[in-house]
């Protein structure tokens, strides 16, 4: 199998990817919280780990990709207090909490489909794994790294830190965390401000609640990922991914929970994508720059100069390395739209090139450079720039400034198909829309033009001209021929 080098956030260096049980690869990625419309911030991790899933499969690995749905336990503040976000939305909209979660899960799936994100192998819901989460809390209690307080269970960070060191992933130490943790009201159940909830006793008005040995309550947010990754991928698995914003406290707490319960961290490689900023600013509801994916696809947000197609967004995300920040602006999106168009036109030109007797170029170079770029920590911008170099060559070949043999043409088409469609996961939206539009338009235009022929035969020139002019107005050019007509969409 080809060598693949991956940056491991935990060790802070690039490591050669060696799966625990090749050819099987277990991959867990923290999925969305489903209490609102999917937004720009969801696009980056989804596209990044979709590319990783596609790439690993192209290398011949058998990947089990688990991406969870957080439909419980995500509190307003990261300090284990405040109202559950889904329950709050349900209360405001007078809905059953699962109605809210289901609605936004569907919206998320729809947006992901449009972005060309493949369905993961398993998509477990936190609310469907309460039993596993309770069992996981019990393991941590039994190992001595948690304590009960008024029906809630908290993780004993100090004790864990003494034995295993807390903060390995985010590079923080306990002193930094103490000085940066605000004491909030209602935290008196905890021994220390940095302790986090594994199980929370529900207050009387809290709707999402389950029975447990300690209280009627609900699991802490970090618990679902420890419990569900262990259930579906085992006590040791290969890749754990997510956005950089999840590194602390979420992933740090996950590592602590798994290490406390199992005696070792469960994930071998921790992979984090960097964040999307908007005109240099962090995205946030309070900043007025919170853009949902639907608003992007339809252009309906004051910050947007136009609508951007799902593939433009995907291409925009892939044009940056996943570990670099990515700044969203209309200019950058418009440049991505143009770039994607140039790439797709190149693919089309390549499909029509005629073979020559000899080749003036070495097509193996295209495959080699793309493969090397992907193998170097998934360098998608390098893959794209290689593809653009070859689009230039293809365009030259179309004007007979370069030539390729039949075998070379086939190899180059295979390279483009592999990287553009299979690994980067792009699709040609323009030709797809034009084709599906044409399916519907063709019989309608044919019908109108038949009517025009009849009008002409009856020497009703006014009707005949009106039909042609109206079609021209909506972008359909009619060409009269001796034996009838021809038409095309302009
Ligand atoms: Zn998680």
Task: Report pLDDT digits (tens) over 105-114.
Answer: 999 999 999 9
Same domain, 340 and 483: no
Beta strands 62-67 and 24-29 are parallel
Q: How far is the CA of 247 from the centre of ligand 1 (A)?
A: 9
Q: How far is the CA of 240 from the centre of ligand 1 (A)?
A: 9
CATH, residue 292: 1.10.730.10
Global confidence as pTM: 0.86
From first to last of its 490 residues, what are the pLDDT tens digits of the chain? 678 999 999 999 999 999 999 999 999 999 998 888 999 999 999 999 999 999 999 999 999 999 999 998 555 444 445 566 767 777 777 788 888 889 999 999 999 999 999 999 999 999 999 999 999 999 999 999 999 999 999 999 999 999 999 999 999 888 877 766 655 545 568 999 899 999 999 988 788 899 999 999 999 989 999 999 999 999 999 999 999 999 999 999 999 999 999 999 999 999 999 999 998 888 877 777 889 999 999 999 999 999 999 999 999 999 999 999 999 999 999 999 999 999 999 999 999 999 999 999 999 999 999 999 999 999 999 999 999 999 999 999 999 999 999 999 999 999 999 999 999 999 998 876 666 666 667 778 888 888 888 888 888 888 888 888 888 888 888 888 766 777 877 7
Q: How far is the CA of 29 from the centre of ligand 1 (A)?
A: 7
Same domain, 154 and 234: yes
Q: How far is the CA of 345 from the centre of ligand 1 (A)?
A: 40
Same domain, 287 and 244: no
Q: How far is the CA of 333 from the centre of ligand 1 (A)?
A: 30
Same domain, 268 and 416: no
* Nearest Cα residue to 243 out of 327, 170, 166, 323: 323
Lookup: tokens for 434: 């034009």
Lookup: tokens for 422: 């299979």
Q: How far is the CA of 224 from the centre of ligand 1 (A)?
A: 7
* Nearest Cα residue to 155 out of 253, 287, 60, 51: 253
Q: How far is the CA of 222 from the centre of ligand 1 (A)?
A: 6
Alpha helices by DSSP H, listed for 307-376, are 310-318, 330-352, 364-375
**CB-count burial class (<10 Å; 0-12, 13-18, 19+) for 57:** middle
Same domain, 438 and 406: no
Q: How far is the CA of 76 from the centre of ligand 1 (A)?
A: 16
Total residues found in the chain within this entry: 490
What pLDDT, on the 0 to 100 scale, is given for residue 437? 64
Same domain, 81 and 103: yes
Contacts of 198 (CB under 8 A, 6+ apart): 137, 140, 146, 153, 154, 155, 219, 220, 223, 257
Same domain, 294 and 249: no
Same domain, 13 and 65: yes
Q: How far is the CA of 306 from the centre of ligand 1 (A)?
A: 34
Burial letters 373-405, b for 16+ CB under 10 A, else e = bbbbbbbbebbbebbeebbebbbebeeeebbbe
Cα–Cα distance between 444 and 448 in angstroms, integer?
A: 6
* Nearest Cα residue to 350 out of 387, 382, 300, 298: 387
What pLDDT, on the 0 to 100 scale, is given for residue 18? 97
Cα–Cα distance between 192 and 83 in angstroms, integer?
A: 21
Q: Please identify which residue in the block is written with the tokens 């097509």.
A: 363
Contacts of 3 (CB under 8 A, 6+ apart): 16, 17, 375
Q: How far is the CA of 327 from the centre of ligand 1 (A)?
A: 25
User: Pick from 393, 423, 453: which residue ends a domain?
Assistant: 423
What pLDDT, on the 0 to 100 scale, is given for residue 76? 47
Q: How far is the CA of 396 from the centre of ligand 1 (A)?
A: 49
Q: Please count the structural domains in the chain.
A: 3
Q: How far is the CA of 250 from the centre of ligand 1 (A)?
A: 6
Beta bridge partners of 270: 240
181-190 long-range contacts (CB < 8 A, ≥24 apart) are 181/79, 182/79, 184/77, 184/79, 184/81, 185/81, 186/81, 187/79, 187/80, 187/81, 189/149, 189/150, 189/152, 189/154, 190/80, 190/149, 190/154
Q: How far is the CA of 341 from the centre of ligand 1 (A)?
A: 36
> Roughly what angle, to the nearest 10 degrees, separates helices 406-416 and 364-375?
20
CA dihedral 160, 165, 169, 170 (to 10 degrees): 100
Q: How far is the CA of 91 from the centre of ligand 1 (A)?
A: 25
- Quote the domain boundaries for residue 462: 429-489
User: Pick from 242, 273, 304: which residue ends a domain?
Assistant: 273
Q: How far is the CA of 275 from the centre of ligand 1 (A)?
A: 16
DSSP 183: P
Q: How far is the CA of 46 from the centre of ligand 1 (A)?
A: 14
Cα–Cα distance between 433 and 421 in angstroms, integer?
A: 17
User: Pick from 423, 446, 463: which residue ends a domain?
Assistant: 423
Q: What are phi and psi of 15, to 5 degrees?
A: -130, 150
Cα–Cα distance between 469 and 489 in angstroms, integer?
A: 14
Cα–Cα distance between 118 and 50 in angstroms, integer?
A: 6
What pLDDT, on the 0 to 100 scale, is given for residue 77? 42
Contacts of 231 (CB under 8 A, 6+ apart): 124, 129, 132
Query: Are the C-beta atoms of 456 and 464 separated by less than 8 Å?
Result: yes
Same domain, 441 and 485: yes
Q: How far is the CA of 223 from the centre of ligand 1 (A)?
A: 8
* Nearest Cα residue to 371 out of 5, 62, 49, 20: 5
Q: How far is the CA of 426 from the centre of ligand 1 (A)?
A: 27
Same domain, 104 and 180: yes
Same domain, 298 and 175: no
Q: How far is the CA of 4 from the centre of ligand 1 (A)?
A: 25
Q: How far is the CA of 251 from the centre of ligand 1 (A)?
A: 7
* Nearest Cα residue to 200 out of 83, 89, 96, 88: 83
The tens digit of pLDDT for each residue in 182-195 reads 555 455 689 998 99
Same domain, 256 and 326: no
Q: How far is the CA of 147 from the centre of ligand 1 (A)?
A: 22
What pLDDT, on the 0 to 100 scale, is given for residue 299? 95
């Amino acid at each position: 199998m080809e060598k693949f080098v991956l940056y491991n956030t935990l060790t802070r260096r690039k490591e050669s990817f060696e799966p625990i049980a090749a050819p099987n690869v277990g991959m867990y990625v923290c999925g969305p919280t489903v209490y609102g419309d999917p937004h720009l911030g969801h696009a980056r991790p989804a596209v990044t780990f979709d590319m990783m899933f596609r790439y690993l499969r192209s290398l011949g690995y058998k990947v089990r990709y688990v991406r969870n749905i957080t439909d419980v336990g995500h509190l307003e503040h990261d300090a284990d207090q405040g109202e559950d976000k889904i329950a709050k939305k349900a209360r405001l909209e007078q809905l059953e909490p699962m109605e809210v979660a289901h609605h936004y899960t569907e919206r998320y799936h729809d947006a992901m489909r449009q972005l060309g994100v493949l369905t993961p192998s398993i998509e477990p819901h936190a609310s469907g794994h309460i039993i596993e989460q309770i069992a996981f809390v019990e393991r941590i209690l039994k190992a001595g790294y948690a304590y009960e307080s008024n029906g809630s269970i908290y993780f004993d960070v100090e004790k864990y830190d003494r034995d295993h060191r807390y903060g390995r992933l985010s590079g923080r130490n306990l002193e930094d965390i103490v000085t940066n943790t605000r004491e909030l009201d209602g935290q008196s159940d905890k021994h220390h401000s940095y302790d986090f909830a594994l199980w929370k006793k529900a207050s009387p008005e809290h709707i999402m609640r389950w029975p447990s040995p300690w209280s009627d309550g609900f699991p802490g947010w970090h618990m679902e990922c420890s419990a569900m990754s262990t259930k579906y991928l085992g006590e040791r698995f290969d890749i754990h991914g997510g956005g950089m914003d999840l590194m602390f406290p979420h992933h740090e707490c996950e590592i602590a929970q798994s290490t406390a319960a199992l005696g070792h961290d469960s994930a071998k490689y921790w992979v984090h994508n960097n964040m999307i900023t908007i005109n240099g600013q962090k995205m946030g509801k309070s900043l007025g720059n919170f853009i949902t994916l639907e608003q992007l696809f339809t252009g309906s947000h004051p910050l947007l100069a136009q609508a951007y197609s799902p593939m433009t967004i995907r291409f925009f995300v892939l044009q940056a390395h996943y570990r670099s920040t990515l700044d969203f602006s209309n200019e950058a999106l418009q440049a991505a739209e143009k770039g994607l168009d140039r790439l797709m036109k190149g693919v089309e030109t390549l499909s029509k090139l005629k073979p020559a007797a000899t080749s003036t170029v070495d097509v193996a170079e295209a495959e080699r450079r793309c493969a090397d770029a992907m193998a170097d920590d998934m360098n998608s911008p390098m893959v794209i720039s290689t593809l653009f170099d070859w689009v230039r060559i293809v365009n030259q070949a179309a004007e007979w400034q370069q030539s390729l043999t039949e075998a070379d043409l086939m190899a180059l088409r295979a390279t483009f198909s592999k990287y553009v469609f299979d690994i980067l996961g792009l699709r040609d939206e323009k030709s797809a829309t034009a084709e599906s539009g044409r399916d519907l338009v063709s019989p309608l235009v044919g019908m109108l033009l038949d009517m025009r022929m009849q009008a002409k035969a009856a020497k009703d020139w006014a009707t005949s001209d009106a039909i042609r002019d109206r079609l021209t107005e909506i972008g359909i050019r009619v060409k009269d021929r001796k034996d009838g007509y021809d038409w095309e969409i302009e």
